[in-house]
């Protein structure tokens, strides 16, 4: 086991640090920005169906569902097809409206999640096309779908999903760009620009990982907190959910993720000097609005930890702790902004003496409903 951990204390830490490579592996042979090439083998025979779909339905559980939420923003922005993101456990039992014109994407690291598998069977019985985004080759979900693209993240042992999440988003990003280009909703110029930027992501993730020591210091300050709030907007809203889930799973601290603007509809009542609030406040189209949310928390003496874009000065003046990550296209930010949140939950859990790789009550794949 020590050898498998490659010198790291835990599988989770190893997997967090593998992300520059796992994302690159996921893109290898598929993306070649210099030549404007983007090929997803699994999609080839189904591109017509995908392009002409009335609606995309994404179904998954847990972290994979969060990747699905990121994909909702990606598909709607780049390809202008309406998207619904469904918890597999709800979808399978609520007699959903599904037709042959729907393109269903099932996302699963393990490919064995019982609810996701049942959701696939249901959609299949209604005539929809089902596309899988799985990590485990030859898994039940990979076999049950009509076609799919593997995430190629390599085996993920830690129960808390990290590198599988960023690989899922990488595949879904490539799908969205391809779809947008084919449908003509993305111009050739913009498409080329986005492909080039996507290629830089592994090195930017590498850079984000170097913040580890700083995050460890922040973890030491907050390891005894009883609650945490995670807030973000747009592409960073699913990242807020994912940050909160990571912390809950491995440190047993109660945490909630919210779209930042929803704060005033309830969670703001929780804010006092005891409440750490993690803002994902990168420079994007909702930046100014998130800054006002930060002010609202500050006015109520909440402790602010902010993930910002390198060079940010505004948030720096307001936050108690800032984590600066490299700049990228707004749509690609989740691939980088989730990294410090994974590290924060990891360090807090270690400092609390928790079993990081095998948290209580949790299984790596949930094969029962
Ligand atoms: C993630 O950290 C969790 N352990 C869990 O939410 C997981 O993502 C969920 O059970 C779905 O698993 P899958 O991707 O293997 O289908």
Residue 366 alpha carbon to ligand 1 centre in Å: 8
* pLDDT value for 310: 98
Instruction: Encode pLDDT of 354-366 as tens digits.
Output: 999 999 999 998 9
Q: Is the ipTM of this complex over 0.90?
A: yes
Catalytically active residues, by annotation:
364
Ligand 1, pocket-test mutation among 134, 137, 161, 363, most atoms within 8 A of CB: 161
Contact 128, 145 (CB under 8 A): no
What is the reported pTM? 0.97
CA distances to 3, 103, 148 from 85, in Å:
39, 12, 18
Alpha helix (H) ranges present in the chain? 11-17, 19-27, 47-51, 62-79, 88-91, 114-125, 140-144, 163-183, 188-199, 201-209, 212-222, 236-251, 287-299, 314-318, 334-351
Instruction: Encode pLDDT of 102-136 as tens digits.
Output: 999 999 999 999 999 999 999 999 999 999 999 99
* pLDDT value for 159: 95
Instruction: Write out residues with Cβ below 6 Å of ligand 1.
Output: 61-64, 108-110, 113, 116, 159-161, 249, 365-366
Mean pLDDT throughout 66-72?
98
Instruction: Encode pLDDT of 174-228 as tens digits.
Output: 999 999 999 999 999 999 999 999 999 999 999 999 999 999 999 999 999 999 9
- Work out which ligand 1 atom sits closest to the CA atom of 159: 4
**Atom 5 (ligand 1) nearest CA:** 62
* pLDDT value for 182: 96
Contact 308, 282 (CB under 8 A): yes
Distance CA 345, CA 28 (A): 29
Instruction: Encode pLDDT of 236-256 as tens digits.
Output: 999 999 999 999 999 999 999
Distance CA 18, CA 13 (A): 9
Residue 29 alpha carbon to ligand 1 centre in Å: 27
Residue 1 has pLDDT above 80, yes or no: no
* pLDDT value for 2: 66
Residue 279 alpha carbon to ligand 1 centre in Å: 24
């Amino acid at each position: 086991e020590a050898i498998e951990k490659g010198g790291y204390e835990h599988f989770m830490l190893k997997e967090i640090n593998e992300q520059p490579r796992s994302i690159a592996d996921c893109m290898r042979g598929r993306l070649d920005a210099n030549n404007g090439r983007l090929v997803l083998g699994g999609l080839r025979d189904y591109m017509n169906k995908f392009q002409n779909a009335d609606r995309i339905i994404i179904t998954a559980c847990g972290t994979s569902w969060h990747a699905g939420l990121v994909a909702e923003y990606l598909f709607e922005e780049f390809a202008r097809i309406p998207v619904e993101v469904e918890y597999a456990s709800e979808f399978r039992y609520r007699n959903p409206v599904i037709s042959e014109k729907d393109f269903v994407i099932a996302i699963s690291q393990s490919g064995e999640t019982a609810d996701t598998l049942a959701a696939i069977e249901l959609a299949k019985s209604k005539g929809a096309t089902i596309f899988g985004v799985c990590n485990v080759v030859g898994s039940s979900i990979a076999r049950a779908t009509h076609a799919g693209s593997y995430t190629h993240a390599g085996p993920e042992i830690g129960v808390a999903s990290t590198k599988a999440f960023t690989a899922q988003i990488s595949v879904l990003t490539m799908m969205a760009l391809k779809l947008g280009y084919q449908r003509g909703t993305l111009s050739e110029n913009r498409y080329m620009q986005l492909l080039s930027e996507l290629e830089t992501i592994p090195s930017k993730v590498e850079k984000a990982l170097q913040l580890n020591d700083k995050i460890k210091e922040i973890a030491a300050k907050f390891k005894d907190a009883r609650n945490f709030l995670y807030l973000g907007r747009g592409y960073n809203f699913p990242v807020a959910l994912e940050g909160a889930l990571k912390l809950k799973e491995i440190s047993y601290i109660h945490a909630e993720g919210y779209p930042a603007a929803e704060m005033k509809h309830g969670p703001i009542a929780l804010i006092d000097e005891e409440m750490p609030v993690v803002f994902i406040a990168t420079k994007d189209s909702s930046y100014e609005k998130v800054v006002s949310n930060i002010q609202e928390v500050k006015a109520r003496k909440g402790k602010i930890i902010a993930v910002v874009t390198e060079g940010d000065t505004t948030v720096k003046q307001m936050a108690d702790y800032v984590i600066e990550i490299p700049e990228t296209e707004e749509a690609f930010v989740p691939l980088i902004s989730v990294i410090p949140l994974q590290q924060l939950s990891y360090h807090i859990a270690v400092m609390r003496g928790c079993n990081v790789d095998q948290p209580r009550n949790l299984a790596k794949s949930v094969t029962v409903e």
